[in-house]
Amino acid sequence: MDPTSPLEQTLHTARALVLADLASGEVAAADVVSMVEDSVVQRRWWVEQWPDGAAFVAGLVAQDVQDALLERYGRWPLCPVCGPGDPHALDVEPELGPDPHWVCHKAGVKVASVGSLGSAMGGGPSA
């Protein structure tokens, strides 16, 4: 049996990080998990074409899922930093780079690394 390839390790890590953020916001329903899986399939092809982009996969999967959720359900994840008067979603930065994290552009702060959103949300729902 072959060990897991670096590509598969990268994809599994990206999947796990995004699922952790979704679970922290209690939005990891079956159809949402399917969105993650769809993104992972697309990003597998993308990284096969551009192996140097492997470090960017977690952020790209997070953005893909965020876009899919916006189309179907609304903004996710909502910013825990700003008050409830003007709900807005966090963004992933860098848009194409390693070490992706969720940021609030209104407050100008890094909220959490992708995969660690639960600690920033205080363990409560984010959507």
- pTM recorded for the entire structure: 0.89
Contacts 24+ apart (CB under 8 A), 104-112: 104/79, 106/79, 106/82, 107/79, 107/81, 107/82, 109/81, 111/79, 111/80, 111/81
Instruction: Give the pLDDT of the chain (127 residues) as one tens digit per residue.
Output: 456 789 999 999 999 999 999 999 888 899 999 999 999 999 999 999 999 999 999 999 999 999 999 999 999 999 999 877 888 999 999 988 999 999 999 999 999 999 999 988 775 443 3
Collect all residues with Cβ–Cβ distance below 8 Å to 34 and sequence separation of at least 6: none
